[in-house]
Structure 1
Amino acid sequence: MDSKIRIIVADDHAVVREGIRIWLERDPRVKVVATAVDTESLADRIDSFPCEVVISDIGMRGINGENNAIAFLRRFLRQAQRPRVIVVTMIAQPQMLTGLLELGVDGLVDKRDCMEALNQAVIEVVDGGRFVSKHAGALLGNELVNVAGRAGVLSAREWEVFQLYASGLSLISIAKRLERSVKTVGTQRRSAMRKLGLKSETELIDYLRQIGLV
Structure 2
Amino acid sequence: MIRIFLVDDHPVVRDGIQALLVREPAVRVVGTASHGQELFDQLPTTPADLVLVDINMPVMDGYATALRLRTDYPAVRVLALSMLAEELYIGRMLEAGARGYVLKSAGREEIVHGIRQVMAGKLFLCSEIGLGLLHKVLAWGGASAATGSRMTELLSKREMEVLQLIAEGLTNAEIADHLFTSKRTVETHRQNLLEKTHARNTAALVKLALVDGLIK
Give the shorter-chain TM-score range.
0.5 to 0.7
| Partner of residue 118 from structure 2, selected from 122, 125, 141 | 125
Deviates more, 1:6-15 or 1:134-143: 134-143
SS at match of 2:56: coil
> After superposition, what is the alpha-carbon deviation per residue over 1:47-80, rounded to whole angstroms, capped at 9, x for unaligned?
32111111011111133xxxx3312322322457
187, 209, 212: which one pairs with 2:174?
187
Show the counterpart of 2:21. 24
Q: Distance in 2 between matches of 1:23 and 1:34?
A: 15
Matched AA of 2:124: F
Other-structure match for 2:57: 60
Runs (4 or more) in structure 1 with deviation over 4 Å come to: 183-186
SS in 2 for 1:8: strand
Q: Is the 8 A contact 1:98 1:140 kept in 2?
A: no
| Rounded Cα–Cα distance in structure 2 between residues aligned with 1:184 and 1:125 | 37
> Is the aligned partner of 1:85 residue 2:78?
yes
2: CA distance, partners of 1:60 / 1:101: 17
After TM superposition, list the pairs within 5 Å mapping 1:35-50 onto structure 2. Answer: 35-50=32-47
Structure ranking higher in helix proportion: 2
1:139-158 mapped onto 2 (5 Å cutoff): 139-141=132-134
8 Å CA contact 1:62–1:72 kept in 2: the answer is no
Amino acid aligned to 1:187: E
Change in Cα spacing, 1:8 to 1:186, as seen in structure 2 (3 Å) is: closer
Alpha-carbon distance change, 141 to 103 in structure 1, aligned in 2, over 3 angstroms: farther
TM-score scaled to structure 2, two decimals? 0.62
> How many percent of aligned residue pairs carry the same amino acid?
30
How large is the Cα RMSD of the aligned pairs?
A: 3.0
- Unmatched 5+ residue regions in structure 1? 145-182, 201-214
Q: What is the match of residue 70 of structure 1?
A: 63
Corresponding position of 1:107: 100
**Contact 1:98 1:143 survives alignment (8 Å):** no
- For 2:54 and 2:89, the matched residues in 1 are separated by 13
Unaligned runs of 5+ in 2: 138-169, 192-216
Radius of gyration: which is bigger? 2
Partner SS, residue 189 of structure 2: coil
Query: Are 2:188 and 1:197 equivalent residues in the alignment?
Result: yes
Q: Which amino acid aligns with 2:174?
A: T
Aligned length: 155
In the alignment, the residues of structure 1 paired with residue 34 and residue 118 of structure 2 have an alpha-carbon distance, to the nearest angstrom, of 23
Per the alignment, residue 153 of structure 2 pairs with: none
TM-score (norm 1): 0.62
Distance, in Å, in 2 between the alignment partners of 1:75 and 1:55 is 14
